[in-house]
């Protein structure tokens, strides 16, 4: 029975959306609280996912039922340590964002609630889909509600921003669709049957020349979503025009789908291409870190500043992923969650001040600490988490990523230089965030309008409370969050390496043995499991902090000879 939890997580918001669509428009309260109630059920249900024993790797809660049998397309969903936290992030952040939205959205309440519920359903679907066709469907479905949220409830240039967001994403994903179809047809050519199951398609060993193209198509779709430099230009527009709730979801969850896509699909399916293009992508990620930071520094509009800081932070995530060792990848996954929390909170805080002053220009503020002390405290805490101050969540993620990059074999011989450059990004983050804090909160109150501003109220506080809690929870007890993903990441990397070695040995078109496939359901065959456990035990000094242990990871990394 419990395997249907994921399906329920997808279905409950959808049922909620249909229910609200049929409800009479007059009763505003029903839409405001009804939508939150459905999301709350989802949140509680998703927390029960933690009860699974996450010490062993592999996918659980797997449901696999045929959908379009002619093409072997199935409704296959499952959860592993990689997607676990992202699903929880979604179920937590969506109600928070919606709750925060209800403080300022007063028009077309019904449609807003429906759009948010549909969005939650599609996002969860994207995180748990294990069939590439299904993944693509959810990936596209996500676009429409977000498009409407930006375009209908957005600011002055909302239409431009919404169209740009939609078209950028669509171009990337259509090319990814062609790549998916190509891999599917190669699988058909090899086996005579169709399948879009990740477990099947990741067994196809493709020649280097086609891997490069296919990986590029996937990478383009995901890089636009992340967004990586130079495909990031839609992001500041979408963020500044979107309503607060839309920005929160966009930054906190939707961007993660890009990085998640690399991890789940692009790299395991095309390891050879990922291996050869990895350093290049890491370099682009570093350009993004520094470029995003400089752009953020120069912004006059605080919401744009936060938007550009996302470009910078997601550069770290990409760097961690392509460092391809336990510390880097775990750090990247944790940093995805961290970024969701801290940037989500920042957007809510910016929304709070915008609702009061109807401006977001840094120059319109100043001295707010005296007027709104509690607000200032929360803003500073969130900024610190965004910068990565020790004790907050951001520190753990960034430290692990930098540590992973330092020790990375995949990024040799540039790993040290990469760390150096990326670390500059941390310093720049401190500069632009503290710059914003300085402009907004310290100094004398220069504007008359700011003198009578009310401090943060109970509802706003309630929206921010869970995020503040998590900032410190992750910051002080990171192992609570790292433990469940540990075994999955180990197994993920081991599989990636063995598949890379195998394909590097012989990159002719053929079907690899099943044990090299990704996306197998747990429990996988016991021997490999035991091996993974032994390796994990051997690598980790007893009782030591996981971060330190992870530093020595990557010893089994194989550097393939250059082509």
Contacting positions for other proteins (CB under 8 A): 67-71, 108, 111, 133, 136-137, 140-141, 144, 147-148, 151-152, 158-159, 162-163, 166-167, 170-171, 174-175, 177-178, 181-182, 184-185, 188
Q: Is 204 helix (H, G, I), strand (E, B) or coil?
A: strand
Q: Return d(Cα 322, Cα 274) in angstroms, integer.
A: 8
Q: Which is nearer to other proteins, 217 or 307 (CB)?
A: 217
The number of helices, as runs of H, and strands, as runs of E, in the chain is: 24, 4
Q: Which is nearer to other proteins, 72 or 404 (CB)?
A: 72
Q: Return d(Cα 54, Cα 57) in angstroms, integer.
A: 7
Q: How far is the CB of 510 from other proteins (least distance, A)?
A: 17
Contacts of 120 by beta carbon, 8 Å cutoff, 6+ apart: 13, 39, 42, 90, 91, 94
Q: How far is the CB of 168 from other proteins (least distance, A)?
A: 10
Q: How far is the CB of 72 from other proteins (least distance, A)?
A: 11
Contacts of 243 by beta carbon, 8 Å cutoff, 6+ apart: 101, 104, 105, 149, 150, 153, 154, 155, 351
Q: How far is the CB of 147 from other proteins (least distance, A)?
A: 8
Q: Which is nearer to other proteins, 99 or 139 (CB)?
A: 139
Q: Which is nearer to other proteins, 148 or 346 (CB)?
A: 148
Q: CA distances (Å), 70 to each of 67, 73, 121, 195, in order?
A: 9, 8, 26, 9
DSSP states of 71-117: GTEEEEEEE-HHHHHHHHHHHHHHHHHHHHHTTT--S-HHHHHHHHH
Identify which of 541, 512, 511, 495 has the alpha carbon closest to the alpha carbon of residue 191: 511
Phi, psi of 117 (to 5 degrees): -65, -45
Q: Which is nearer to other proteins, 197 or 398 (CB)?
A: 197
Q: Return d(Cα 374, Cα 391) in angstroms, integer.
A: 20
CB of 308 closer than 8 Å to CB of 236: yes
Q: Which is nearer to other proteins, 180 or 532 (CB)?
A: 180
Residue 207 has which token pair? 């020649």
Q: How far is the CB of 83 from other proteins (least distance, A)?
A: 21
Q: How far is the CB of 69 from other proteins (least distance, A)?
A: 6
Q: How far is the CB of 139 from other proteins (least distance, A)?
A: 9
Q: Is 361 helix (H, G, I), strand (E, B) or coil?
A: strand
Q: Which is nearer to other proteins, 234 or 308 (CB)?
A: 234
Q: How far is the CB of 216 from other proteins (least distance, A)?
A: 12
Q: Which is nearer to other proteins, 194 or 322 (CB)?
A: 194
């Amino acid at each position: 029975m419990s395997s249907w939890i994921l399906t329920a997580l997808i279905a409950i918001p959808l049922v909620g959306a249909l229910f609200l669509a049929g409800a009479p428009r007059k009763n505003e309260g029903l839409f405001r609280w009804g939508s939150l109630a459905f999301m709350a059920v989802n949140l509680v249900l998703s927390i029960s996912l933690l009860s699974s024993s996450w010490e062993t790797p592999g996918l659980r809660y797997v449901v696999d039922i045929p959908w379009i049998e002619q093409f072997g397309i199935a409704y296959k969903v499952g959860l592993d340590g990689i997607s676990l936290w992202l699903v929880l992030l979604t179920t937590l952040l969506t109600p928070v964002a919606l709750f925060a939205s209800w403080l300022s959205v007063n028009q077309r309440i019904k449609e807003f609630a429906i759009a948010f519920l549909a969005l939650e359903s599609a996002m969860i679907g994207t995180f748990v889909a294990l069939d590439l066709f299904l993944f693509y469907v959810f990936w596209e479905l996500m676009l429409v509600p977000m498009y409407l949220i930006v375009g209908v409830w957005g600011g002055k240039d909302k239409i431009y921003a919404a169209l740009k967001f939609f078209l950028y994403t669509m171009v990337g994903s259509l090319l990814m669709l062609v790549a998916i179809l190509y891999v599917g047809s190669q699988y058909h050519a090899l086996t005579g049957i169709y399948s879009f199951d990740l477990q099947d398609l990741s067994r196809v060993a493709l020649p280097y020349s086609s891997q490069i193209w296919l990986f590029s198509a996937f990478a383009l779709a995901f890089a636009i979503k992340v967004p990586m430099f130079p495909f990031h230009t839609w992001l500041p527009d979408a963020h500044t025009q979107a309503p607060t709730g839309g920005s929160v979801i966009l930054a906190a969850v939707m961007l993660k789908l890009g990085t998640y896509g690399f991890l789940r699909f692009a790299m395991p399916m095309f390891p050879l291409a990922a291996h050869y293009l990895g350093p290049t992508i890491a370099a682009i990620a570093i350009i993004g870190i520094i470029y995003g930071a400089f752009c953020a520094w120069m912004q006059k509009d605080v919401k744009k500043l936060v938007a550009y800081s996302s470009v910078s932070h997601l550069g770290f995530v990409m760097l961690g992923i392509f460092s391809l060792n336990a510390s880097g990848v775990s750090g990247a996954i944790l940093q995805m969650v961290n970024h969701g929390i801290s940037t989500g909170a920042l957007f809510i805080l910016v929304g709070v001040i915008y609702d009061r002053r109807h401006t977001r220009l840094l120059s319109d503020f100043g001295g707010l600490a005296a007027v709104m002390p509690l607000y200032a405290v929360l803003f500073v805490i969130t900024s610190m988490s965004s910068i990565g101050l020790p004790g907050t969540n951001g520190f753990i993620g960034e430290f692990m990523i930098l540590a992973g990059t330092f020790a990375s074999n995949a990024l040799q011989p540039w790993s040290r230089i990469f760390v150096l450059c990326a670390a500059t990004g941390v310093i720049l983050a401190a500069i632009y965030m503290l710059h914003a804090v300085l402009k907004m909160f310290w100094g004398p109150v220069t504007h008359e309008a700011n003198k009578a501003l009310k401090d943060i109220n109970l509802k706003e506080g309630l929206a921010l409370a869970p995020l503040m809690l998590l900032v410190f929870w992750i910051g002080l007890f990171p192992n609570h969050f790292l433990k469940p993903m540990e075994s999955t990441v180990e197994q993920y990397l081991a599989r990636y390496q063995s598949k890379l070695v195998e394909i590097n040995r012989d990159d002719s078109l053929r079907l690899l043995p099943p044990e090299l496939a990704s996306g197998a359901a747990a429990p996988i065959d016991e021997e490999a499991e035991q091996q993974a456990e032994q390796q994990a035990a051997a690598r980790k000094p007893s009782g030591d902090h996981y971060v330190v242990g992870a530093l020595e990871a990557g010893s089994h990394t194989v550097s393939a000879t250059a082509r």
